[in-house]
Structure 1
Amino acid sequence: MARTGLIAEYAALVAAVDGLTAEEWKAPTDCTGWAVLDMLAHLAGAAECAVRPVAMARHWRYAGWRPARRPVDFVDHMCASQIRSRKDLSTAELEADLRRWASQAPAKGAGRPRLVRGIPGPAVAGLPRGARVSNFVDVISIRDVWMHRIDIARAIGRPRRPITVAEPEAVRQVVRDLDIEWTSLAIDLVLTGPGGGVWPVGDGEPIAEITEDAGALMRLLSGRSDECELRFEGSATGSQLLRAARVLCCTGMPTARCGLR
């Protein structure tokens, strides 16, 4: 499913980039300090990391070294390194670069040796407890492309098309990670729209049933904008706890963090 979903997401991303105007490349996104161009440079860099372990090692080394000088999150620096390495590309060259790596990333990621996939992920990267390199390859990569496709659509004022086969799985994974890290009173989560479903979150008897659009909740959990109503039946405490929760939904930073708190 991971490979199929990532193929679908990259295809949708490449289609969205095709035909961007000069002004759309410069449009600011919900990730503070990032224009569409910066976001696509990050996505091209992330795809290259999946294809070329040496590129991943280079960006991870940069990210691991920088916090010693300026204690900001590992992922901030990793993304900055990906963008910095593409700062001299024209938009046409960046689009070609994205297409090149996006066409190879799903197969390369799926083909990683078991030993490599089992390497523990950096503790500072905001991953859930026990996460390994496979979480980046199979989980975060799909979320990353999906969430940034939404960011780009919002930035240029176009509807997000298409709804891919990966969206239900991406939402399910985010809710799973929410449940793993949830230490508060239990809730039942009812999500509507693409990727919707019903999930228990937390242990014990739920104090509330909370209903929300899946896409809106993903944006809330990632630390982006909050358009959520969080309609609830039961205790209001459940919706308050959910509104304060954060999950690593992608790599890339809005208003200080993109999925990290």
Structure 2
Amino acid sequence: MTTTTTPRAAALPQTDRDTARDLAAAEYATLLAMVDAFSEPDWDRPTDCTAWRVRDMVAHVAGAAEEACRLPVLLRHQVAALRGMCRGDGVLVDLLCQAQIADRAGLPDPDLAADLRRWAAGAPDGRRRQPALLRRTRMPAFAGLRPGSRMAYLLDVIYLRDTWLHRVDLHRATGVDMPVSSAEPEVVAQVVRDLDLEWTGPALVLDLTGRGGGRWCVGTGEPVAVVTEDAVALMRLLSGRSDECVLATDGDPSVADRLRATRVVF
């Protein structure tokens, strides 16, 4: 078990606004290439987000991009979601997604693809331009983010992570090729950073292979195991999508069990 000179994931800096803008543009470009390759039947296929078909997922991503470009739309969706939450209709993030999808319920599939393209063009700069005061604002607990998170975390980390994981979902649903984007290493690294910031178990070395992979130390103290896994498979596990992970472990096997039960916000 080799663990020397492995960097601590929690020591990674949070993605900055300029990097987030550039990586979001790359993610949207690869997403649009995938959507352009959909066949007519693809739009109605189920996804790993079991309440959503492919078109619902595309509508959600388009709606989130529009919110970055149009403040009145964002405020309208937030008010609707907060009212729904007060009525007990669900949690904030799910109700925001419902509002995004409802806005696009009447769009034909080709128009939905065009709608995504329209808002994806402006969303990276729209998020990057948010003022420093807003970016420093602490997010309320009901937002469902990591405790202590500020708005910058949502703008620069979560939206990028969400778009990337939905590309994985769309690839699995349709079989359309998922192009590699320049954002993938940063997306994976930030997920592992969040994992480490909340990790309370024994220290381990996480060796992620495949696209977006890397090697980090998670937890405080001397690592008791090295866990090796495909990066995309682990991201799906941590998101709660599904568990196809092997979590090959060199060392204490209980670490893998603890990792398998852990979730990170996407």
TM-score over 0.5 for the pair = yes
How many Å separate the matches in 1 of 2:71 and 2:151? Answer: 12
How many Å separate the matches in 1 of 2:194 and 2:142? Answer: 16
| 1:17 correspondence with 2:17 | no
How many Å separate the matches in 2 of 1:71 and 1:130? Answer: 25
| 1:144 correspondence with 2:143 | no
Decide which structure has the larger Cα Rg and report it: 2
Q: State how 1:78-89 maps to structure 2 within 5 Å.
A: 78-89=96-107
How many Å separate the matches in 2 of 1:187 and 1:78? Answer: 36
How many Å separate the matches in 2 of 1:93 and 1:202? Answer: 47
How many Å separate the matches in 2 of 1:118 and 1:54? Answer: 21
The residue aligned with 1:70 is: 88
Aligned pairs, number? 248
Higher RCO structure (Cα 8 Å, ≥6 apart) = 2
Q: State how 1:40-189 maps to structure 2 within 5 Å.
A: 40-70=58-88, 72-161=90-179, 163-189=180-206
How many Å separate the matches in 2 of 1:149 and 1:88? Answer: 23
How many Å separate the matches in 2 of 1:115 and 1:23? Answer: 45
How many Å separate the matches in 2 of 1:87 and 1:222? Answer: 26
| 1:2 correspondence with 2:20 | yes
Contact 1:211 1:231 survives alignment (8 Å): yes
- Structure 1 spans left out of the alignment, 5+ residues: 250-261
Displaced runs of 4+ in structure 1, greater than 6 A? none
Q: Give per-residue Cα distances to partners, 1:3-30, cap 9 Å, x unaligned.
A: 1100000000111111422210001000
The residue aligned with 1:248 is: 265
Query: Among 203, 210, 224, which residue is 1:207 paired with?
Result: 224
For the residue of structure 1 that corresponds to 2:122, the secondary structure is: helix
- Cα distance, 1:245–1:71 mapped onto 2, change above 3 Å: farther
Contact 2:207 2:216 survives alignment (8 Å): yes
The AA in structure 2 aligned to 1:168 is P
Q: Aligned-pair distance for 1:236?
A: 1.0
Contact 1:50 1:137 survives alignment (8 Å): no
- Structure 2 spans left out of the alignment, 5+ residues: 1-18
Q: Aligned-pair distance for 1:77?
A: 0.9
Q: Aligned-pair distance for 1:71?
A: 5.7
Over the residues paired in the alignment, what is the CA RMSD in angstroms? 1.2
Q: State how 1:22-37 maps to structure 2 within 5 Å.
A: 22-37=40-55
Q: Give per-residue Cα distances to partners, 1:58-81, cap 9 Å, x unaligned.
A: 222222221222263211111111
For the residue of structure 2 that corresponds to 1:14, the secondary structure is: helix
How many Å separate the matches in 1 of 2:152 and 2:188? Answer: 18
* Overall identity of the aligned pairs, in %: 51
The residue aligned with 1:258 is: none
Contact 1:63 1:78 survives alignment (8 Å): yes
What TM-score do you get using the length of structure 1 for normalisation? 0.92
The AA in structure 2 aligned to 1:76 is D
The AA in structure 1 aligned to 2:96 is M
